[in-house]
């Protein structure tokens, strides 16, 4: 199983495999053709409340990750997580985010959970 995390603004690469956008909002200034997104499971993204909480100021990434993992345990999100895990069992999956720091984002939390 191979899971990659990349910025959605980076050009697609052949080794990306299935490209999954894991942001709730479509990335600004990016056309759907340029993004080449295969799936966009909005129910897998952090809730609006959690996103606002995290971006409101000095919040710990570890606390954000814990709260996000709790959201991912909810039935709809858990089902979508299983779906992406199934995709990854068949080949490469790239989680796409518009975050400027993908390694400190929800996409990194997803990647870790998917590889567990």
Q: What is the pLDDT of residues 58-114, one digit of tens each?
A: 788 999 999 999 999 999 999 999 999 999 999 999 999 999 999 989 999 999 999
**What tens digit of pLDDT does each residue of 1-26 get?**
689 999 999 999 999 999 999 999 99
Count of residues in the chain: 116
Closest Cα to residue 95, out of 31, 28, 5, 7?
5
Gap between the terminal Cα atoms of the chain? 10
pLDDT-derived band of residue 56, with 50, 70 and 90 as boundaries?
Answer: confident
pTM: 0.92
Distance, in Å, from the CA atom of 5 to the CA atom of 23, rounded to the nearest integer, reads: 12
Domain residue limits, the chain: 2-115
pLDDT number for residue 55: 83
Q: Which two tokens stand for residue 18?
A: 């299935």
Other CB atoms closer than 10 Å to residue 14's CB: what's the count? Answer: 6
């Amino acid at each position: 199983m191979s899971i990659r995390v990349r910025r959605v603004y980076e050009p697609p690469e052949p080794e990306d495999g299935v490209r999954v956008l894991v942001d709730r909002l479509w990335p600004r200034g990016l056309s759907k053709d340029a993004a080449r997104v295969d799936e966009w499971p909005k129910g897998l993204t952090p809730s609006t409340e959690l996103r606002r909480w995290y971006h409101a100021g000095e919040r710990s990434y570890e606390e954000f990750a814990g709260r996000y993992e709790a959201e991912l345990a909810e039935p709809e999100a858990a089902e979508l997580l299983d779906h992406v895990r199934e995709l990854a069992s068949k080949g490469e999956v790239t989680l796409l985010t518009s975050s400027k720091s993908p390694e400190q984002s929800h996409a990194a939390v997803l990647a870790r959970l998917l590889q567990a």
